[in-house]
Amino acid sequence: MGEAGQHAFIFDMDGTIVDNMAYHTRSWVAFFERRGRQIDPDEFFRKTAGRQGREIMRLYMGEHLTDEEVKLLNEEKEAVYRELYAPHRATITGFDDLVVKAKACDVALAVATSAPNANIDFTLDGLNLRRHFDVVVGAVDVARGKPEPDAFLLAAERCGAKPENCIVFEDAPIGVEAARRAGMRCVVLTTTLPAEAFAEYENVIHIVSDFSQLTIDELFK
């Protein structure tokens, strides 16, 4: 693969490496309940999947909030999430196998996530996954969150790979759109939404329920 330039796999984290989106939604419900507010979990999920916490916080708690207020509220919500999800932390079936095989084929591996650093540490270090990755890009590393392509483009640049030589793994339409804007092909995991939610994206090359349904050869066809 070397002569065609560096190839890279870029993974979203939440809902892609780990099947945790239901726990994020639960933690938002609990966060709002503390403030006497009821939210419809399904509608909330549709509106917010893949977005950065600070964007969601302003959307629901008010644009007037200062950066410091948003940071503190977000830290509270994420602490609730980590407490809820900690007993269930696990990678999605086939993930570990795929990254080991990718490494053996000299594919660079990156994470590009909307998550804050505390959640990145919680997942990557909590599951001893950081050793697999050459590059980790989080919410603090980019000015604009998904659907803007910034996180994926930065991950590709740090991997030394051109966008056309990158494959993104995602579970949310907002992330697939970010990959499209970055000029990258995308594999969708249906951990979060059904396949039909991704019908309009021509950059999607595979839709699977877990990583065991993928082979390296197939991905580079």
Q: Which two tokens stand for residue 206?
A: 């595979």
- What's the gap between Cα 219 and its chain centre? 19
Q: Catalytic positions, please?
A: 12, 14
Alpha-carbon distance of 136 to 159, in angstroms, equals 10
Based on the domain organization, do 81 and 101 belong to the same domain? no
Amino acid at 30: A
Q: Are strands 135-137 and 166-170 parallel, antiparallel or unpaired?
A: unpaired
pLDDT tens digits for 101-151? 999 999 999 999 999 999 999 999 999 999 999 999 999 999 999 999 999
What is the C-alpha separation between 72 and 74, in angstroms, rounded?
5
pTM: 0.94
Task: Kindly report, residue by residue over 161-212, the tens digit of the pLDDT.
Answer: 999 999 999 999 999 999 999 999 999 999 999 999 999 999 999 999 999 9
CATH number of the domain to which 73 belongs: 1.10.150.240
Is 178:152 a contact under the CB 8 Å cutoff? yes
The token duo for 76 is 């509270």
Q: What angle do CA 212, 215, 217 make, to 5 degrees?
A: 180
Number of structural domains, the chain? Answer: 2
What type of residue sits at position 78?
A: E
142 lies in the same domain as 168: yes
Residues 65 and 142 in one domain: no
How crowded is residue 16: how many other Cβ atoms within 10 Å of its Cβ?
27
**Domain stops at, among 60, 87, 114:** 87
In this structure, are 105 and 186 located in the same domain?
Answer: yes
Full domain range(s) for residue 121: 2-19+90-219
Shared domain for 125 and 197, answered yes or no, is yes
Q: Which amino acid is at 49?
A: A
Same domain for 198 and 118, yes or no, is yes
